[in-house]
A and B are shown apart, each in its own frame.
Chain A
Amino acid sequence: MTTTSTGSSEQEQEADDRALGFWLFLLGDLVVFSLLFATYVVSTRSAPSLTAADFSLLRVAQETAALLASSFAFGLGVEAARCQRFVLARALFAGAMGLALIFLALELAEFVALAAAGKTPATGAGVSAYYALIGAHGAHVASASVWLAVNLIRWRSGVWSAWAIENFARLGVLWHFLDLVWIGIFSVVYLPEFFP
């Protein structure tokens, strides 16, 4: 091996390695969520749990719309960054961030409303499992938002390096992953209550 091989091919390999590592990490995270789903299903079958009367269909629809739109904006942002249109990319990422914060605010409002109605985790295992599953997803969204905030502060202006684009794209994978988990939550938690 000679010096010449430390060129771009090695950098590409390292970028590939980082991508592989991140996907492996998500695989592990997926196992956590699958166990949370399993806990939810088991706990709601036999214990006091939440029903359609406890949820607001409108709020769930708003949450879903906010998160899906955020994911869409993020996807467009990554494409814009790859096309070197950084101003547009920044705007799209900021939009994705705003929508994620709206989602988090809605979720918090839901928790507050439930707690005000006396439906705290102490009500029963089903309610606890609900808070645990939704809360874990929300905590993920919040962490991803911190990451995005850091990136937006870090790359405020100018031309982004390949690393910056890669970093946003990596966060995008997490962003879409959390979207998919939400679709699972929507299908397993809310939908069966409204359309049994």
Chain B
Amino acid sequence: MLNCKQVVDLASKSLDDSVSWQQHWRMKLHLMMCSNCRRYIKQLKFLQKVVLTMDGQNSKIALSAQAKERIRNAFAATHIAKK
């Protein structure tokens, strides 16, 4: 019988990769009887959703004027080298 700590680690693994069917069933069996673990897994799935919808693009963060200038110069130097 798996304990909660093992189920928690296994649940995380199943989000990234596959788990064997034996492990899968042992986990299911545990979840049938453990509401706290069910809740935990539900929350992990939500975290995964947040992370996967997070692309960093819905912010106003932008390159600073100095950084742009520096990149532009470096880029221009390559241009000339390539001519």
Q: Do A and B bind each other?
A: no
Interface residues of B (CB under 8 A from A): none
